[in-house]
Amino acid sequence: MSNTDDIRWVTQVALLGDKNAFDKLTCKYQSPIRRFFLNLTAGDGPLSDDLAQETFIKAYLNITAFKGISGFSTWLYRIAYNVYYDSVRAHKKYADINEWEIDSQHQTQNEFSAEKMDIYRALRLLRKEEQTAVLLFYMEDKTHPEIAKIMNCPLGTVKTYILKGKEKLSLYLTNAGYGN
């Protein structure tokens, strides 16, 4: 399924309010968007599904704002990024609670827990912006300019986030015995 399909489905949703076309878009992008949230929330499945659902509903409500300048995927990640940071800001007041402990409790309740502990531990070392940039670059195969659009920041800043994230992760992974 190509970008042409995306444009066709978006047009059907925007002009005709065709929900079946939106269903096709949801089916196509549910996996990368949920994976993105799952990694950002350190494996919290229910929370990442809630955030993903909010992302798709916002995309549906604002689909006429999609101009097709960037790909639909990039536009959807931009919404996902905003949804995630809105959620982070909303829960800022609980910042004193040890997030890592809570996340670890959630991890024992979902199917990804054991095998993914390392990636969540590794991502935990990074700042939120670095986590996002690194995940988009290495996990979701986005280019630097696309990440700059998603995070709405200059290209140089994105490169710095990725570089710093890479340094921290490389050190962690080398110490953990990866790459030997």
Partner 1 sequence: METNDKLLKDFFSENKKEIADNGFSNRVMQNLPETADRSWIVWVFAAIGMAISIYFGLTSGLLEHAFSIFFKTVPYYYLIAGIACFPLLGTAGYYLSQNKSYAF
- Does 1 bind partner 1 (CB under 8 A)? Our answer is no
- Does 143 bind partner 1 (CB under 8 A)? Our answer is no
Which residue of 1, 46, 57, 102 would you call a contact of partner 1, by CB under 8 A?
57
- Does 16 bind partner 1 (CB under 8 A)? Our answer is yes
Q: Is 146 in contact with 135 (CB distance < 8 Å)?
A: no
What backbone torsions phi and psi does residue 94 show, to the nearest 5 degrees?
Answer: -95, 15
- Does 42 bind partner 1 (CB under 8 A)? Our answer is no
- Closest approach of Cβ 56 to partner 1, in Å? 5
- Does 46 bind partner 1 (CB under 8 A)? Our answer is no
- Does 102 bind partner 1 (CB under 8 A)? Our answer is no
Secondary structure of the chain in HEC code, one letter for each residue: CCHHHHHHHHHHHHHHCCHHHHHHHHHHHHHHHHHHHHHHCCCCHHHHHHHHHHHHHHHHHCHHHCCCCCCHHHHHHHHHHHHHHHHHHHCHHHCCCCHHHHHHHHHCCCCCHHHHHHHHHHHHCCCHHHHHHHHHHHHCCCCHHHHHHHHCCCHHHHHHHHHHHHHHHHHHHHHCCCCC
- Does 114 bind partner 1 (CB under 8 A)? Our answer is no
- Does 38 bind partner 1 (CB under 8 A)? Our answer is yes
Q: Among residue numbers 74 through 93, which ones bind partner 1 (CB under 8 A)?
A: none
Q: Is 142 in contact with 78 (CB distance < 8 Å)?
A: no
- Please say which residue, 97 or 171, places its beta carbon nearer to partner 1: 171
Of 67-75, 86-94, 98-106, 111-119, which part binds partner 1 (CB under 8 A)? Answer: 111-119
Contacts to partner 1 by CB under 8 A: 15-19, 22-23, 26-27, 30-31, 34-35, 38, 49, 52-53, 56-57, 60-61, 112, 115-116, 118-119, 122, 134, 138-139, 166-167, 169-170, 173-174, 178-179
